[in-house]
Amino acid sequence: MNKLILHCTPFWAYQVGGKESLPFCIADRSLQVVKMTAWTFWDPVRIILLVLSSFFWLISLLISSLWWFAVVPLRHEPVFGLVFSVAFQEIFRILLYLLLFKARSFMSKLTENDPIFGDKPHILAYVLGFGFGISSGLFGLVNVLADSLGPGTLGIKGGDFGVSRHFFIFSALFSLAIVLCHTAWGVIAFSACEEKKYLRLVTVWAMHYALSGISLLNQSQLYALTLITTYLILTSSIAMAFFIAGGSVNSLKACFALRNGDSSTNVFVR
């Protein structure tokens, strides 16, 4: 079984003037993440799949909008739009998997040197989930930024009809969480369909509904509670996706342990 090797350096190996330097560690780890992301998408087929998944999310948005427009009495109920929007997104995530499953033999011929349809299915799920996340995050944040256009936005510092001055920061952080959650949910959902472990699929639906439902608290300006809950869901989603993709507790420990006097270790992920 092929494995992906991540080169990690324990944080205490970063020393400046004989002292451990956590900022240097964070900077190096961030650079490694950027390199991994660039490596993942440095392939035309993956870019096509990324665009395809974004297109599927847009179709789910279109159908949700048509459904919202058709049901006139419930147009002004946020819960109504939320329930069906999440349902359509997850349905199209499954439809995307079924489409690629049918085209697997053809796509494998296009990716002979990089068999993401063979022994690296989690990379395929990662790319498709990231496509969902990009579209969702962009549309969520663009709607907020569109309301801020103009010479001035009334009430942004509070008041009877205003919102918190931190509203845009919270919106950006929430959009970031949405992108990462969709990426993790893509890995979980595709593994559920591939291995026929449908409880994982139920978990994805539950986390998606929980994340979307908690956002309704923004109407009451409970932004801190919303963000804390959102990032707890994000952490759970990433952890679940990590272990499903082949990660382990030992691989995590290897990131923070020196072995045989070496200042670097390798983390293996299937």
Asked whether the predicted pLDDT for residue 54 surpasses 70, the reply is yes
Is residue 162 a part of any domain in this protein? no
Residue 65 lies in a domain: yes
- Does residue 229 lie within any of the structural domains? yes
Report whether 182 contacts 174 (CB < 8 A). Answer: no
Domain assignment present for residue 160? The answer is no
How far is residue 179's CA from residue 35's CA, in Å, rounded to a whole number? 18
Res 144: pLDDT:
76
Listed residue (217, 218, 210, 133) closest to 167, CA to CA: 218
Q: Which two tokens stand for residue 222?
A: 């409970």
Give the burial string for 188-217 (b: 16+ CB within 10 Å, else e).
bbbbbbeeeeeebbebbbebbebbbebbee
Confidence check: pLDDT of 131 > 80: yes
pLDDT tens-digit series, residues 188-218: 998 888 888 889 999 999 999 999 888 888 7
Domain assignment present for 235: yes
The verdict on residue 97 lying in a domain is yes
How many percent of the chain have pLDDT more than 90? 22
C-alpha 246/C-alpha 234 separation (Å) is: 19
pLDDT per residue as tens digits for the range 1-42: 344 444 444 434 444 444 444 454 455 545 555 555 555 556
Does a structural domain hold residue 27?
Answer: yes
Count: domains in the chain: 1
Q: What is the C-alpha separation between 6 and 268, in angstroms, rounded?
A: 6
Q: Is 131 contained in some domain?
A: yes
Range of the domain at 75: 4-15+22-147+167-269
